[in-house]
Structures are given as structure tokens and as C-alpha cells.
Structure 1
Amino acid sequence: MRRAPVAAIIATLLMVAPTAFAADGTKADPAKGKLLVEQVCAACHGIDGNSAASANPSLAGQHPEYIVKQLNEFKAAKRKNPVMMGMAAPLSPADMKNVAEYFSAQQAKDRGASDKALIEAGKKIYRGGIMAKGVPACMACHGPSGAGIPGQYPRMGGQHSAYTLAQLTTFRSGERNNNTVMTDVAARLSDAEIKAVAEYIQALH
């Protein structure tokens, strides 16, 4: 089966409608979110959203809409992770919004690259894509600095390279299948290309 050309992928990405964060009109309460973070989330993601373990994503500065979307998909088992599915199961919509609002207000740490030798290769993919393989530039959706677009595309800048590598690998294998565009993009990347772009993303801030 022929995959869609790069232009079609970018067009699809840019036409995705923003996620409704406060469709019910209620306002998130970050103070309540902090209490939940202290009780439930901090052990893996850090009290300030900067996780110490590279296998766990940092959530500091992440768009609240994206966090809510992922929590809902863990709860609905649309995104599979035994730990996160268990954590999300008892959360109410208000809990999710409160936690997301708290994490989004935290300052993400500047990590730098863990493997500087891969930075240049990763930069080329992130900023220019791989035209010969139909891979769009990552920055088309996630922005030049990895800031993403609120309500549409997640913040990536400064994320642990090990976590990004793991997610791209599971998108490619189909183990993670809650975003069809990312599944298609990851399917076009080699192990070396995934590792390089993950290192470059970690260095962004």
C-alpha cells in the first residue's frame, strides 16, 4: 500500500481541529490540581512536572488540553499503559483539568542533549523532514522550539530523549495507536533517525 505524500500529511496535521478543553464552561483549579499531583503524580513526573527518570515524560509547561486528552485516552484504554490506565481510572473530568492546569503552569527545565553527536542529524529531520521518505518536518506542528500549538499539538522541547524514542518506536510498531498521523510518520523512520530526532528534541527549549 502506498503511503500518502508528505504534503498530504502536513495538510492533515494542520487541519486537525483543536481539542475542546473547557467545553462544559468550568474553570480549572490548579490548587486542587497540585494536591492531586502531590498525592498521585509526583512520584513519576516530579512535583514540578520535571521527571527525574527519563522513561517518564516531563509534563511541566505541557498544554493542558493535551494532558487532558491523554488522561481521557488512558482511562478509556485507547492509549495503553498499565500504570497510567490505573492512575487515570478514578479521575473525574474536573480532576484531569485541574492536574493539567497545574502542570501547564510549571517551568520546564532545559536539559540539553545527552548525545551531542546526533544533534545535527536530528536537527535536519526536525526542521526539514526527509523528503525522500515522505517524512514531514516535525516543526510543522510542534514548532521551531518544540513549543507545539495549544489545543492541537503537544509541547516537545526539552522532553527526555529516551521517552520520545520510546513513543516514536511504539507509534511505529502500532503498540501506541491513538494518533494515526504519528503512526504513519513514525513508520517511515529508521531506528537511527528516531534516536537522532529524539536527541534534538531534548536539546530544544
Structure 2
Amino acid sequence: MNRLGKFLVVLHTAAGLSVLVAQAHAADPVKPDLNRGQAIAAQVCASCHGADGNSAGGAFPKLAGQHPEYLVKQLKDYKTQPGAKQAARNNPIMAGMAAALSEQDMINVSAFYASQVAKPGYAHNKETLALGQKIYRGGIAEKGVPACASCHGPTGQGIPSQYPRLSGQWADYVAAQLVAFQQGPGGRNNNEPMHATAQRLSDKEIKAVADYIAGLH
């Protein structure tokens, strides 16, 4: 092979390697910036969710210790996606907050809140504790309600990206989300299994399992 041929082979090989390297970098997961995430939390989120992700009351969820992948997904679901008529989660306040965040911002602030320690919660209604425990751990077979623990874990730690951590979450917030899942479109329409499950629960059962979850650890 002459010099020109060898040069062309080397050039072609180098170009191929460059493409492979570029593809590898594109496939790398985006690394979160916790400092930037903390700044976003302080500027945008703290008034409702707390500077460390421990909100002051059940109107807003605790975010501390939540799975970061799950938080990113929820933030995206507040935005109306291309081709959709409305967002998967209907909340005008959160829609405005999420609209101002880039995807990197979402990754950063989610990672920051995930790194924080959640404060424990407590169940308050002794009269419904047994019912709440029954639903969470065993479901309601006659109504086709699966055990919450089958997806969220026996201690409420959840499964990253798929099912959120529930341990210690405010009972009022959990109950409100179950009602939103009952409504589906116009309420919360971003998890079909939860939509189907919530529709089978009575108001009493929702309150009971939500209170039990608040004390779960």
C-alpha cells in the first residue's frame, strides 16, 4: 500500500474513533451539580417545600430523601409535552415553576433534595391505624386493590424512578394525591396503575392508608 493509501486508512480510522467517542459521551448520564441544585431550591422551591426538602405542612410534600429520578419525572409531567393537550399533572403553580427550569436545573435540584434527610412523620388516628396497615401491607383483595408495599416497599422506601418514597410523607398530601389519581385527566394522569387503584378506594380507606403512611418508617 502506498503512502496515500496508508494516510487515508489512518484518517478513516481516526474519524471512526472520534464518532465512537462522541457517542459514548452523549450516552453518559448527566451529572448533577448539588451546589446549583441548592441554589435553585433556595430561590424557587424553599417557600413551599423547605430549604432542606422538609415542608412545614401537608399542603406541600416533603422532598427530602426522595428518589431524584422520580422528582425529575414529576417536574417534567407538570409541563405540557409536544402533541399533548394538557400536562400529565394539573397544578397551575407547579406548572409555572417547572416551566422556568431547564432539564439540567431539574436534575440539579432533584439531586439536591434527594441528598437531604427526611424528617420522620407520625400517624395520628388510632381508630384507622389497623385499616391503613391492612391496605398498605395486604391490599383489599375483594376490591382488586393491591398492597401498597408491593410497589412502595414494606417501609415505604419506594423504587427509584418508578415509585416514590412514601415513608413519613404528610397524610394530607398523600390523601390529596390519591384523590387526584381518582380524577385522572384534570387531576393527575401520569400513572395508570395508581389511577386504577385509587378509583377502588373509598374516602375512609384513603384517609386510613394515608395516615398509616405518615408514620411508616
Give the alignment partner of residue 211 of structure 2, picking from 164, 182, 199.
199
State the structure with bigger RCO (CA 8 A, min sep 6), 1 or 2. 1
Indicate the larger mover: 28-37 or 114-123: 114-123
Following the alignment from structure 1 to structure 2, what is the Cα–Cα distance between the partners of residues 83 and 186?
24
> Once the two structures are aligned, what percentage of the paired residues are identical?
58
Equivalent pair of 2:73/2:161 in contact (CA under 8 Å): no
Aligned to 2:33: 29
When Rg is computed on C-alpha atoms for both structures, the one with the higher figure is 2
Aligned to 1:180: 192
Following the alignment from structure 1 to structure 2, what is the Cα–Cα distance between the partners of residues 126 and 164?
13
Q: CA deviation at 1:23?
A: 6.1
Q: Deviations over 1:51-87 (max 9, x none)?
A: 0021100000000000000000102222110000000
> What stretches of structure 1 of length at least 5 have no aligned partner?
1-21
Q: Deviations over 1:122-158 (max 9, x none)?
A: 0000000000000000000000000001122110111
Following the alignment from structure 1 to structure 2, what is the Cα–Cα distance between the partners of residues 80 and 164?
16
Give the alignment partner of residue 99 of structure 1, picking from 106, 109, 121.
109
Q: Which amino acid in 2 is paired with 1:66?
A: Y
Q: CA deviation at 1:24?
A: 5.4
Q: CA deviation at 1:115?
A: 1.9
Following the alignment from structure 2 to structure 1, what is the Cα–Cα distance between the partners of residues 190 and 142?
26
Q: Which amino acid in 1 is paired with 2:166?
A: M
Asked if 1:146 corresponds to 2:156, the answer is yes
Give the alignment partner of residue 58 of structure 2, picking from 54, 58, 73.
54
TM-score, normalised relative to structure 2:
0.82
> What stretches of structure 2 of length at least 5 have no aligned partner?
1-25, 81-86
RMSD over equivalenced CA pairs, Å: 1.3
Count of residue correspondences: 184
3-state SS in 2 of match to 1:75: coil
Equivalence map 1:9-20=2 (5 Å)? none
Equivalent pair of 2:69/2:110 in contact (CA under 8 Å): yes
Q: CA deviation at 1:114?
A: 2.4
